[in-house]
Amino acid sequence: MTAITYETFANGIGFVGVVIYICAYTMLQMGVVRGASYTYACINLAAAACVLLSLTQEFNMSSAAIQICWIVISLFGITRLFVLSRTVRFSEEEERFRATKMPGVPRHHFRKLLNRGFWVDGEAGTVLTREGEAADTLFYLSEGEAEVRIGSDVVGTCRDGIYIGEMSILSGEPATGTVTLATPSRYFCISADALQSLGKTNRELRFAIENSFAGDMREKLIHSNTRTLESRAQA
């Protein structure tokens, strides 16, 4: 390979590195990738390696030092994520909760959420939310069933695998109905204050929780529409 050919190659690979840097930062700002993720660390590692390789043609100590530090930091981030993901452990019900509601959340972030709340074996008749009162606790119904009442009328049921109280927590408005356990149930609960505190310190987890709430509300709407159509068909 001639000097001119290698120079062209080095300049080209350096330009590729710059493009990767720009794309990585753009994706981070757009929310496409997370800052503390394998993807972002690997992209930055590749970009730094490309720019460092281009410096073999026309070496610059300052630029090389920056790229070497970037590579070391990226490798540290990848190693850290690997260690965290391997050391965090979940029970079967916790793993089911994560897989059902927040499958894309890193394990160590989800552990922070679990550590702020607790699991409860609830008895039938336990009231989770009351009509006209703002919910101060989020519930995730892992097993069992709950009734939703407006006034004295039962207007629906909550099956396992859904949230209870999330709409009141999001809006700050009073709950539109009273939710009572209809059967002995198992659920996870976390206070609204704890959720807000997590959201302030962990933006990634806050977005995941909000997206999880949105998905849960879509499920409830679909279930409600299905019940309405079935009732009309029977009538």
> Is residue 1's pLDDT more than 60?
no
Position with higher pLDDT, 98 vs 204: 98
For the chain, give the mean pLDDT: 86
- Out of 10-14, 95-99, 111-115, 180-184, least confident range: 10-14
| Predicted local distance difference test score (pLDDT) of residue 160 | 87
pLDDT, one tens digit per residue, over 53-103 is 988 888 888 889 999 999 999 999 888 888 877 778 889 999 999 998 988
Query: Average pLDDT of 151-158?
Result: 85
* Per-domain boundaries in the chain: 3-87, 92-234
Fold of 92-234: Jelly Rolls (2.60.120)
- Residue 104 in this model has a pLDDT that exceeds 90: no
pLDDT digits (tens, 9 = 90+) for 155-188: 888 888 999 998 888 888 888 899 999 999 999 9
pLDDT of residue 235: 58
pLDDT at residue 88, rounded to an integer: 82
More confident residue, 106 or 19: 19
Q: 3-state SS of the chain?
A: CCHHHHHHHHHHHHHHHHHHHHHHHHHHHHCCCCCCCHHHHHHHHHHHHHHHHHCCCCCCHHHHHHHHHHHHHHHHHHHHHHHHHHHCCCCHHHHHHHHHHCCCCCHHHHHHHHHHCEEEEECCCCEEECCCCECCEEEEEEECCEEEEECCEEEEEECCCEEECHHHHHHCCECCCEEEECCCEEEEEEEHHHHHHHHHHCHHHHHHHHHHHHHHHHHHHHHHHHHHHHHHHHC
Whole-model pTM: value is: 0.68
pLDDT for 134-150, tens place per residue? 889 999 999 999 999 99
Please indicate whether residue 130 or residue 31 has the higher confidence score (pLDDT). Answer: 130
Q: What percent of the chain has pLDDT over 70?
A: 92
